[in-house]
Each structure stands twice: as C-alpha cells, then as structure tokens.
Structure 1
Amino acid sequence: MDFNNIYSVLTDKKDNKYGKRIRESRYKLAPTASAYTNFLNNLKECENELREMFDTLVKYMYENLNGFGEIIAEDGKAIQSYVRRISEKNSGNRGERDANWCQKNYTTTKPDGEKVVKTKKWFGFRLHLLSDATYEMPVDFEVTKASNSEVKETEKMLDNIKEKYSEKLEQCRYFLADKGYDSTELTEWLTTEGVSQVIDIRNMWQGEETKQFKNTNIVYAYKGKVYYIADSGEKIELIYKGYDKSRDSQRYGFHPKYHDKRIFRIPLRTDLRIFTKVARNSKKWKRLYKKRTNIERVNGRIDRDFQFEKHTIRGLKKMKMFLNITFIIQLTLAKSKIESGITNGLARYIA
C-alpha cells in the first residue's frame, strides 16, 4: 500500500478494517488495552523460547567480540514489586503472590574511621546478573524472590553454564564481585575451574589482626597483606613479587631499602579466600576490581532506560519475561552495531 492509500484510509469518515473510528476523521490504530494484556499473557508462557533467543544472542557476542566473557562481573539487583505486600486471594491478576521481603545491611566507614551500618529493605524480587565487564552486556541471569541468597543463586547459574555452555567457562579468566559473594564454596568452585576470583573479602577472624604462616616469621592479614616479624619485633610489610605458577604460590620479598633478597612463597591453598592468583594487594587486583562498576551501569540502564524503578509488574513469571525482553533488546541493538562494523559503545542505545 502506498502513502496515498494510507492517507485515504486515515482520513476516511467510514469505519473500515484498519481501525475503529473514534471521531469523524480520527482512527485508533494502536492495540486496545485488553489486546495488549492478552499479548503479554501469551508471551509470558513463552519463557523457554525467550530464553533461547537470549542464549543465541549471547553466543553471537562470544563469536564476534574479541575478549567477550573473559572478565565477568556478578551482582544482585533489588527490584521492588508494584505492590507492597502479598495480595488477597480475591485480587485476581492485579495481585502479587510471588514476592517477599528482604533486608540487606551495608557497612560503610566515615572519614574519621567510624563504621556506619545502613539497612535496605524491600518487598519484591532480585535479579542475579552475570555481565561482561568489558562490553557491559549480560552473559546470564536469573530472577528470584527478594530473599533468595545471592551466592547460592550464583552457584546455580555457574553450574548451569558448566553443564550447558562449558565454552563460556573456558573463555572466562576473571570473576568480579563485591564482598557479598565472599564464600569458601564459590571460591573453591572458581579455583577448580581455573577462574581467578577478584572478590572483595569479609573479615571473619573475629578480632584477630594477623595469622602466622606455618612455623615461620611470616604473618598475614585477612586482606592479603604479608609481613615479616624481625628478631627485634619489628613488623615489616613485604612487597608482592608475583605469582609462581609452578608452585601455585604467591611470592613476597623485602623492599630494596632493607638490602635483603630473600623470597618467601605462600601457597594459595593456605587460604583460597585470602591468597588468590591475582594478589589482593597488587595493582592488577585493584585495576580489575574497578571494572566491577561496569555492572552497576548495566543495572542503572535497567532502572533508568527501561523504567524498572517505576513499573506496574506483578508476579515472578511476568518479571522474568520483562527482564528477558530487556536483555534481548540490549543484545539485539548491540548485534546490529556489530554487523555495521561498530564495536565501541555497544551498550549505548544510540548509534
């Protein structure tokens, strides 16, 4: 149909198959509210098909982007439900029966050293997201009730990736996360798979400042700093000298001003949470950990650009559907840029 025919349809005063007449010369061509609701209800039942679309687009990124999936960041995002409590049984489709409450505490330190605990409490859901920290695009995700454990859901996602998409793990070199993911089980899992974890650490020593390494003059702190205790009692901080692959150990030595060339090796198995392939007190660890902020930008786009801060979604199944579609849109836009020869700024929603 050419433009003139379209124009004649829109200005025709008689009812026709192209739309319902509202006034003498205006037609409503958009779907009605009920048609839109029926469409979403039908789409909600296509969870497997939507997930297949997502996985296909992620696979495209692995195949067409250099280094995609080498540095993966994990984060859990709170998404409040449209309602604030479990709805009554007679509330119909407008009710909420899947969400629950969650409370999360954050400890911050003021400039004067005082520790302040901030509490965040919400009723709703939680998005568990694995994202490429270089290109700021999703790799895998899961949506659960708000109270579900971030660490346990991450372990489930990683197990699923290992079972179905083992090539993703082969590509992954570094796993970034905040201290909420500091877990012995997760650390051991990543180590077994050959992935270097760059995860902030919690202090679980209950008052201890340092621990002795075997029967030596070497002691270490929970954040990875290593010290030599001299005969005089002086505590000398040692300098990180690199990872020894042949012995799976970290190497430490004295600052040149001490004129002591001894090298001390601490095996990673001493404590996998503290001694990682990328040493916690190294510049490389700090540089990699800064990349974790990229996933916060991904979450920010979900809130800002897709308006998940102000939504009317109710129900876990519907929430999964909308988030899946959100990621499909992000990846599809990136795919179109790649096919046009653009590889920078793929996460932006402009050309």
Structure 2
Amino acid sequence: MYLLQGTLFSFEEWLKIESKDRLPLFFETLDLRPYVKEMKKSSPQGARGYSREAILRAFLAAPMEEISTLTRLHQRLQTDLRFRYQCGFRLDQGIPSISTLSRVFQQITARGLAEKLFADLVEECREEGILDGKHVAIDSTAVDAYEKKKPKSNLSKKNATWGSKFDSHGNKITWFGYKVHLAVDTKSELPIALEVTPAHVNDGDLGPALMEKAARSVPDTFRYVMMDGGYDQVKNYETAYDLGAQAIIPLNLRNEKEPPAGFSSDGTPRCSMGFEMVYWGRDQHRLKFRCPHAAGKVDCPHGTAWCSSSNYGMVQKVDIRDNLRRFSLPHRGSRNWKKLYDERTSVERCNGRLKENLTTNDLHVCGISKGTTHVYLNAIVLLATALAVKKTQASKEVA
C-alpha cells in the first residue's frame, strides 16, 4: 500500500485558477531577458520585427493551454487576442509564421536554453524553500512519438525507438518513442533533473547519470534516492554512496536460488538456530541486529544461553560497505525504509501531471534534441507555477 505524501505545492490548485488569470501570474515569476539575449539571429532572415521574448513566452504558455503543435500555437495566437497580448506580442502587428516559430524553437534547442532556464528555476525554488532535494525519487515514463516507425534492427541514439515494459499488473506494454527519466524532489513533487532517451534504453543504466545530475542541482542536501526494482544494480548503489546518499531500492532477486550464508535475502543476519535477527538501529555505517529471542520475537528452545551469556542476547553488526546492494541504511524492510520507499510515488504523480495536465506525451517534433526541449518546457511550467503560487500567497499575506 502506498501512502500519499503531503506536498508543499499542489499543481491541482494551480489548475483551478481561471485560464485568463494564470498566464499573467505565471510570467510575473519569470525573467526571460538573459535567455533572450542568447537568441541572436545568425542571419538576416527569420523573425525580423517579432519579439523573441514573446515567442519564448508562447512556447512556455503552450503546455498550460494544451497546445502541442506549432500549427495550433500559430492558430491560437491568430484568433485569441488576449492570449497574444499576454504572451507579449503587439496587437498592431501580425504574428510570426509557423516557419519562424520552428526556427526559434530550433534555436532554443541548439543553444540549450530550455535546460538552462530549468536549472535556474530549480535553484530559485530551492532559495524560496519550495524544494530542498534531501529526498529524491527517480523513475521513467514512456512518451509516444509521431515519427516514422523503424524496425528494431535500426535502433538509434538520436531518434525514437521501440520500447517495452511490464505495468503494475504484469501486462506487457509496447510503444514507439522515447523515455523521460525524471528525478523528483519528494517534498514538493517537482522535477530537479531529467534525461530523455530512446525508448529501448534500460532504466537502471540511466540511474547513475540522473543521480549525478540531481546531486549537482541540489548540492550538499542529497541524502536519499528512491527507485523501483528496475534500478536494482550495483552501480546505482555505488553511485548513490559516492554522492553521500543512500539508495532505497527493493531487491530484485532475479534467479537467486539461495541467499548468502548466514543471511536472509534482504540482508538480515540469521542466528545459529536459523532465526532472523531483529534490526536494532544503526551505528554510523553499521547495522545492529539483536537476538530474536531476547527481543521477544521468537521462542528459542535454548533461550539466550545458546549464543550469549548476557540476558541482552547476542548482537551482530553488519557494515553496509561490505555489500552496498545487499545492506541498506536504514535496514531494508524496516519501518523507516518502507516510509522512505513510499515517497517514490511522488515521481509517478509528477510524471502524471506532465503527461495528463500538460503536453509531455503529445510530442510532435522529430529527433531526441527537439524532444528534450519539449519535455524541458513542460517541466519548466511545473517549476514556474510553484514559484507563482508561492509569490501570490506571499503577496496576500502582506496585504
């Protein structure tokens, strides 16, 4: 059973605000001028006379208005004067053509401006106390692509591919497109790092890169990272440990026939009578386990005398560094471990908002570079709306 986590920012509350009022609040939180300066034209052709800031605003407003194609964005700017004005276009001029919008989108992609804006907003959210990055959840989600389908033999690192996975009911799901690998702050359910890959890429293989990216976004606070069993690979535990964090991942026993001698599968030591010892806390890098008879968990026919002369019973300590995958702080299966793992649902809810409330899963651009820009623009909306809500609440308190 999953426990719903209380969050600091509710995107659902943001969606209740009238559409005509959302955009002004949204854009008040964003200073796009530094990014617009990097959008200088490389040739005399293109968007002469059109504000690059207004075009960038339109790209950011599109996910909130469920606009997923440049054609639909052009139509909305053409028919909705309020939307055009709120994006920053002059009403006494025409609007940029679809080809102009396409060129600017390519420019944003080539210069990595969406990723830069995303990183700056993560930092601003940290400064405002909206997220802290102590607890991070990682998972991937499938994204369909409207590209020409290719056989599996022609897998590419730059374009959409075929992918498959099993859902929570054991059903196999197949799709053509990409995967969005997301690291989410569990306190706020906001994204702090992401990667986009072709659909066939294994989740566990992206774990180290995503953890390193998340740790750079929230330096000095990264403590726990929650992932599902698909990430149960030694390299993910080692990366988390090297970053000063603990990976909270359920063991995927695969074809393991027997656990290591003297231990159960989850790393719990067994006493000389074969009973699982009782987890009794930690001592720095060591897990402490106590005699199950002395702890009142089993009725051993030999009592505590079999293993110890003390009424406290035998105590065994296990250094997690002996096997980072098998041993965990807190101990895997303990109440604290389960509580931490329950926070993993925050990344599922974040993925749901990106795909159901915004346009992440309505991808109409070709190639992984443009697809990544599309995903970043959606993630930026979540961060900017959190800032907008925080600043709106602060202004009401002052008033």
- Is TM-score (shorter-chain normalized) higher than 0.5? yes
Counterpart of 2:267 in structure 1 is 224
Name the SS of the counterpart of 1:211 in structure 2.
coil
What is the aligned counterpart of 2:192 among 136, 139, 142?
A: 139
The residue correspondences of 1:117-128 to structure 2 (distance < 5 A) are 117-128=170-181
More strand by share: 1
Counterpart of 1:92 in structure 2 is none
Name the SS of the counterpart of 1:102 in structure 2.
strand
Given residue 100 of structure 2, which amino acid in structure 1 is its aligned partner? N
Matched, 1:322 2:374: yes
Change beyond 3 A, Cα 1:83–1:60 = same
Q: What is the rounded CA distance, in whole Å, between the counterparts of 2:267 and 2:387 in structure 1?
A: 41
Matched, 1:38 2:73: no
Change beyond 3 A, Cα 1:146–1:64 = same
Counterpart of 1:276 in structure 2 is 328
Matched, 1:51 2:138: no
Change beyond 3 A, Cα 1:29–1:335 = closer
Counterpart of 2:27 in structure 1 is none
Given residue 38 of structure 1, which amino acid in structure 2 is its aligned partner? T
Counterpart of 1:211 in structure 2 is 260
Q: What is the rounded CA distance, in whole Å, between the counterparts of 1:265 and 1:28 in structure 2?
A: 70
Offset at residue 160 of structure 1 (A): 4.5
Counterpart of 2:46 in structure 1 is none
Offset at residue 120 of structure 1 (A): 2.0
Name the SS of the counterpart of 2:337 in structure 1.
helix
Q: 2:131 touches 2:185 (CA, 8 Å); kept in 1?
A: no
Change beyond 3 A, Cα 1:332–1:237 = same
Name the SS of the counterpart of 1:229 in structure 2.
coil
Counterpart of 1:244 in structure 2 is 283
Change beyond 3 A, Cα 1:55–1:307 = closer
Counterpart of 2:143 in structure 1 is 79
Name the SS of the counterpart of 1:194 in structure 2.
coil
Q: Find the structure with the greater CA-based Rg.
A: 1
The residue correspondences of 1:142-161 to structure 2 (distance < 5 A) are 142-160=195-213
Counterpart of 2:17 in structure 1 is none
Offset at residue 28 of structure 1 (A): 4.7
Q: 1:44 touches 1:321 (CA, 8 Å); kept in 2?
A: no
Counterpart of 1:191 in structure 2 is 241
Q: 2:160 touches 2:367 (CA, 8 Å); kept in 1?
A: yes
Q: What is the rounded CA distance, in whole Å, between the counterparts of 2:142 and 2:374 in structure 1?
A: 15
Offset at residue 29 of structure 1 (A): 6.0
Offset at residue 151 of structure 1 (A): 2.6
Counterpart of 2:225 in structure 1 is 175
Offset at residue 52 of structure 1 (A): 1.1
Q: 2:131 touches 2:190 (CA, 8 Å); kept in 1?
A: no
Given residue 140 of structure 2, which amino acid in structure 1 is its aligned partner? G
Change beyond 3 A, Cα 1:316–1:33 = farther
Name the SS of the counterpart of 2:220 in structure 1.
helix
Offset at residue 305 of structure 1 (A): 0.6
Q: TM-score, normalised by structure 1?
A: 0.73
Given residue 129 of structure 1, which amino acid in structure 2 is its aligned partner? L
Q: 1:224 touches 1:281 (CA, 8 Å); kept in 2?
A: no
Offset at residue 270 of structure 1 (A): 3.0
Q: 2:147 touches 2:160 (CA, 8 Å); kept in 1?
A: no
Name the SS of the counterpart of 2:207 in structure 1.
helix
Given residue 272 of structure 2, which amino acid in structure 1 is its aligned partner? I
Q: 2:146 touches 2:365 (CA, 8 Å); kept in 1?
A: yes
Change beyond 3 A, Cα 1:119–1:65 = same
Matched, 1:292 2:344: yes
Q: 2:264 touches 2:276 (CA, 8 Å); kept in 1?
A: no
Change beyond 3 A, Cα 1:77–1:158 = same
Offset at residue 56 of structure 1 (A): 0.6
Q: What is the rounded CA distance, in whole Å, between the counterparts of 1:283 and 1:228 in structure 2?
A: 22
Given residue 145 of structure 1, which amino acid in structure 2 is its aligned partner? P
Given residue 222 of structure 1, which amino acid in structure 2 is its aligned partner? S
Change beyond 3 A, Cα 1:29–1:133 = closer
Q: What is the rounded CA distance, in whole Å, between the counterparts of 2:362 and 2:213 in structure 1?
A: 32
Offset at residue 180 of structure 1 (A): 0.8
Summarize deviations over 1:71-104 as a string: whole Å, max 9, x none: 00101111011246149xxxxxxxxx81111222
Q: TM-score, normalised by structure 2?
A: 0.65
What is the aligned counterpart of 1:61 among 125, 143, 153?
A: 125
Q: 1:69 touches 1:132 (CA, 8 Å); kept in 2?
A: yes
Given residue 381 of structure 2, which amino acid in structure 1 is its aligned partner? I
Q: 2:270 touches 2:276 (CA, 8 Å); kept in 1?
A: yes
Identity of aligned residues (%): 22
Q: 1:82 touches 1:313 (CA, 8 Å); kept in 2?
A: yes
